[in-house]
């Protein structure tokens, strides 16, 4: 990726974010970190110090492959030299966003802000709307991904929403507080949720509900902008998420790494040219389908992708030979962590989970319309009949006959190993 392009991108990103923001970009290739673009000399000097010393939010983000937020530079103690340089430059907060750009190469975007803790849906919304306006004014086709950090922990709401939902009740349906019959090893037999657990889950649910109100407003702002600019009839809008979230299901507290529907099913609402309104589809879809769908809409279809375009499904014309199962994969580095204190791990990774939240090891699973089959690296297996047991509470794997066990294992092996066109056969098993 050319340095001049990244430099131009840094300027455009800072302009779109506004709010006294600067952007600097670091490239890691063959283990060497160097700055390749900045929107200002101040931000560039901060990144140069970070790369010279080998410590800072940007480098840490690439090390852990996760977004790193520094909400208040005056209290950040992990990287003293970089933090001091950023404070001296007049910045109050920062965020680093890592991305892979090919074999052996990574980049990370350091966003510096002159405001403390500005990382709400409002910042993303304003940047997205400005990008749309600039693209339409220039006559350029555009694609924008507006990805907010909320409702990740600590689920900070916009100030105007901080007092909402004081009495909102936690949903306690389905598998909430219930134990699985013959649970996998990682889940085991767990005690019932305590009163303190319920109070924590209730408050966590309320915080998450408050934090996503800005996302709802962001979506409305984008739709109104498209209408105002006269391009709504030629623009697809996709609302979705990368994972679900359990809150009390299976006697776990909160988290997202299990193979059960609470964690793997996500909302996906799509509006666009020619798509019927208020129509739901029961066709099995996966996040691997988004890329071929977007390419289809752009008229730039490519062969060799694992997923399938959802365009016909969205128009109520699901192809006859549509998939019968989707692959779910979870990988966990099962080596003992260098830091065993959960608070320390949480400070580095806002997605960290402890035993109470649920710590499944590496597994692969198939979700069909009728069943969920899970195969864990440690040998545990799970099978749920979703017609008779929609809450996934009766693990039938122990009663499977040898032939059924072999069939499920073969289906999973083929689906996990497929690539491109071969997935059209692997996901249509009988």
> In the block, which residue shows the tokens 């809409």?
297
Q: In this structure, are 136 and 108 located in the same domain?
A: no
Q: In this structure, are 157 and 89 located in the same domain?
A: no
Q: In this structure, are 233 and 111 located in the same domain?
A: no
What pLDDT was estimated at residue 353?
79
**How many domains is the chain built from?**
2
Q: In this structure, are 129 and 106 located in the same domain?
A: no
Beta strands in 143-233 (DSSP E): none
Q: In this structure, are 86 and 143 located in the same domain?
A: no
Residues 6+ apart with CB under 8 A from 303: 420, 421
What pLDDT was estimated at residue 13?
63
Q: In this structure, are 131 and 93 located in the same domain?
A: no
CB atoms within 10 A of CB 140: 8
What pLDDT was estimated at residue 65?
78
Q: In this structure, are 107 and 207 located in the same domain?
A: no
Residue where one domain finishes, among candidates 96, 117, 138: 117
What pLDDT was estimated at residue 380?
93
Q: In this structure, are 132 and 252 located in the same domain?
A: yes
What pLDDT was estimated at residue 37?
83
Domain of 111?
Answer: 3-117
3-state secondary structure of 350: coil
What pLDDT was estimated at residue 144?
93
| Beta carbons of 107 and 98 less than 8 angstroms apart | yes
One digit per residue, pLDDT tens: the chain, 430 residues? 445 455 566 666 666 555 567 888 888 888 888 888 888 888 889 989 998 999 999 899 888 877 787 878 999 999 999 999 999 999 988 888 887 666 677 888 888 888 765 556 777 888 899 899 999 999 999 999 998 878 887 787 887 888 999 999 999 989 999 999 999 999 999 999 999 999 999 999 999 999 999 999 999 999 999 999 999 999 999 999 989 999 999 999 999 999 999 999 998 999 999 999 988 999 999 999 999 999 999 998 788 889 999 999 999 999 999 999 999 999 986 555 444 455 555 445 556 778 889 989 999 999 999 999 999 999 999 999 999 999 999 999 999 999 999 999 999 999 999 999 899 999 998 7
54 φ/ψ sector (left φ>0, alpha ψ -120 to 50, else beta) = left
Using CB atoms within 10 Å of the CB of residue 357, give its burial: 0 to 12 exposed, 13 to 18 middle, 19+ buried.
middle
Residue where one domain finishes, among candidates 80, 96, 117: 117
Q: Closest Cα to residue 144, out of 164, 129, 159?
A: 129
What pLDDT was estimated at residue 158?
81
User: How many C-alpha atoms does 404 have within 13 Å on its Cβ side?
Assistant: 11
pTM attached to this predicted model:
0.77
What pLDDT was estimated at residue 101?
63
What pLDDT was estimated at residue 338?
47
Q: In this structure, are 171 and 287 located in the same domain?
A: yes
């Amino acid at each position: 990726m050319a340095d001049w392009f990244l430099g131009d991108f840094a300027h455009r990103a800072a302009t779109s974010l506004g709010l006294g923001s600067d952007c600097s970009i670091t490239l890691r290739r063959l283990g060497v970190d160097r700055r390749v673009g900045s929107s200002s000399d101040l931000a560039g000097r901060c990144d140069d110090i970070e790369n010279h010393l080998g410590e800072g939010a940007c480098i840490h983000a690439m090390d852990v492959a996760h977004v790193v937020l520094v909400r208040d530079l005056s209290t950040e103690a992990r990287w003293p030299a970089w933090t001091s340089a950023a404070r001296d430059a007049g910045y109050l907060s920062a965020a680093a966003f890592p991305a892979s750009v090919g074999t052996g190469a990574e980049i990370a975007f350091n966003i510096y802000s002159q405001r403390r803790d500005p990382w709400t849906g409002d910042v993303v919304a304003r940047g997205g709307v400005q990008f749309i306006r600039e693209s339409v004014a220039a006559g350029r086709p555009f694609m924008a991904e507006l990805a907010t950090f909320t409702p990740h922990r600590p689920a900070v709401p916009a100030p105007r929403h901080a007092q909402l939902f004081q009495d909102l009740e936690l949903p306690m349906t389905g598998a909430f507080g219930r134990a699985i019959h013959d649970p996998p090893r990682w889940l085991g037999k767990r005690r019932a949720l305590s009163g303190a657990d319920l109070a924590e889950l209730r408050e966590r649910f309320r915080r998450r509900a408050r934090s996503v109100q800005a996302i709802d407003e962001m979506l409305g702002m984008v739709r109104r902008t498209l209408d105002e600019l006269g391009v709504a009839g030629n623009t697809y809008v996709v609302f979705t998420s990368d994972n679900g979230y359990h809150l009390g299901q299976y006697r776990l507290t909160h988290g997202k790494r299990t193979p059960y529907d609470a964690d793997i099913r996500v909302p996906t609402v799509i509006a666009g040219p020619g798509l019927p309104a208020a129509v739901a589809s029961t066709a099995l879809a996966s996040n691997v389908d988004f890329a071929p769908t977007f390419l289809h809409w752009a008229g730039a279809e490519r062969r060799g992708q694992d997923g399938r375009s959802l365009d016909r499904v969205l128009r109520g014309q699901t192809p006859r030979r549509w998939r019968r199962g989707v692959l779910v994969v979870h990988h966990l580095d099962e080596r003992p962590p260098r830091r065993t204190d959960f608070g320390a791990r949480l400070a580095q990774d806002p997605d960290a989970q402890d035993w109470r939240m649920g710590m499944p090891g590496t597994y692969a699973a198939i979700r069909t319309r009728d069943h969920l089959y899970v195969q864990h690296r440690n040998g545990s297996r799970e099978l749920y009949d979703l017609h008779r047991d929609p809450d996934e509470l009766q693990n039938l794997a122990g009663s499977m006959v040898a032939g059924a066990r072999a069939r499920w294992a073969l289906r999973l092996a083929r689906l996990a190993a497929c690539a491109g066109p071969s997935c059209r056969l692997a996901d249509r098993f009988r």
